[in-house]
A and B are shown apart, each in its own frame.
Chain A
Amino acid sequence: GENVEQHPSTLSVQEGDSAVIKCTYSDSASNYFPWYKQELGKRPQLIIDIRSNVGEKKDQRIAVTLNKTAKHFSLHITETQPEDSAVYFCAASIGGWSSASKIIFGSGTRLSIRP
């Protein structure tokens, strides 16, 4: 079955610097890779996602890159701000016409932004 590994488990960066979180997946059939942000005591929220037919996607300060050959994908946050402090989860799944596939989450990265 699918396995998703996420690194690092904790990350501390200076405000204004960039943060990068990396994930690898095992099932080459995976074609949908979302990233979720979970603030303390709150629900996970989708912040960006990428499909396997795209190599990179940007949304303001957030970008995700996908390397299908190497089976890894990364989240990049630029110009970090205090409100970026949270736990970030990557995930991989196989999506399609039936929507019957399950989604596997990485173990999470606790990002702390130092003022």
Chain B
Amino acid sequence: DSGVTQTPKHLITATGQRVTLRCSPRSGDLSVYWYQQSLDQGLQFLIQYYNGEERAKGNILERFSAQQFPDLHSELNLSSLELGDSALYFCASSVGLAGAPSYNEQFFGPGTRLTVL
């Protein structure tokens, strides 16, 4: 158990719908990352938040958005869903303490499997 939690574990929805995925980082971690992993594919970096602020963006679609709340949990919102959005969505967290040397040692959550029908 990495200490990172994600809900829900599974999500089945229809095209055109909107869903929200939730992530709680490890206690003390300030950085949260979101990744998309399609079937037999690698990890596609979507977006990173650090202490409530967006810090880096990857290949995130405009239909997707995310935020990190004051309690450091994060949500990934996926709208106007398409069949191709079906994937495993991982959240990861890392320490990222300001004022101390840090590296992106990321701890992954169990993932949310999204199926769009």
Interface residues of A (CB under 8 A from B): 31-32, 34, 36, 42-46, 49, 51, 89, 93, 95-108
Contact among B2, B45, B98 with A104 in the assembled complex (CB-CB below 8 Å): B45
Q: Which single residue of chain A is at the shortest CB-CB distance from B51?
A: A99
Asked if A102 meets B48 with Cβ closer than 8 Å, knowing A43-B110, A107-B42, the reply is yes
Between-chain CB contacts (< 8 Å), 8 pairs = A43-B2, A45-B108, A95-B102, A97-B98, A98-B50, A100-B50, A102-B48, A103-B33
Interface string of B22-50 (1 = CB under 8 A from A): 00000000110100000000110100101
Interface residues of B (CB under 8 A from A): 2, 30-31, 33, 42-43, 45, 48, 50, 55-58, 90, 94-111
Please determine whether A103 and B99 come into contact, CB atoms closer than 8 angstroms: no
Please determine whether B90 and A32 come into contact, CB atoms closer than 8 angstroms: no
Please determine whether A46 and B106 come into contact, CB atoms closer than 8 angstroms: yes
Question: Taking the nearest CB of chain A, how far is it from the CB of B53, in angstroms?
Answer: 9
Residues of A within 8 A of B2 (CB): 43, 45
Residues of A within 8 A of B45 (CB): 102-105
- 16 additional A-B pairs beyond A96-B103, A98-B50, beta carbons within 8 Å, are A34-B104, A34-B105, A36-B108, A43-B2, A45-B108, A89-B42, A95-B101, A95-B103, A97-B101, A99-B97, A99-B103, A100-B55, A102-B33, A102-B57, A106-B42, A108-B43
Residues of B within 8 A of A51 (CB): 103
Q: Which single residue of chain A is at the shortest CB-CB distance from B57?
A: A102
Q: Which single residue of chain B is at the shortest CB-CB distance from A49?
A: B105
